[in-house]
Amino acid sequence: MYAVIKTGGKQYRVSPGDKLKVETLAAEVGQQVTLSHILAVSDGVSVRVGNPLVDGAAVSATVLAHGRHPKITIFKMQRRKHYAKNGGHRQNFTELRIDAIA
């Protein structure tokens, strides 16, 4: 059984027991969250695809942790113009464990 969910502007294929890192959610560690933007659900035999969302479907998950991804280095340069600029970015994330698909 799996579902395709949408959160943080991205889509993920999840199954019960999966762990995944998504964009930051406003929830405490250990709290149950319900993801209601379900694009498709499969029970192994048939697939229900929403238009755009599947009615009545929900995915429940537990928040395991909050954190930050590794740093991404941003380097900009224009040759022969005496221009070079360094920067970096670290994206925040929330780690979820998928408990059930309903």
Q: What is the domain extent for residue 93?
A: 2-101
Overall number of domains in the chain: 1
CB 15 within 8 A of CB 100: no
pLDDT in tens, 43-54: 989 999 999 999
The pLDDT of residue 44 is 87
pLDDT in tens, 55-91: 999 999 999 999 999 999 999 999 999 999 999 999 9
**pLDDT tops 90 at residue 93:** yes
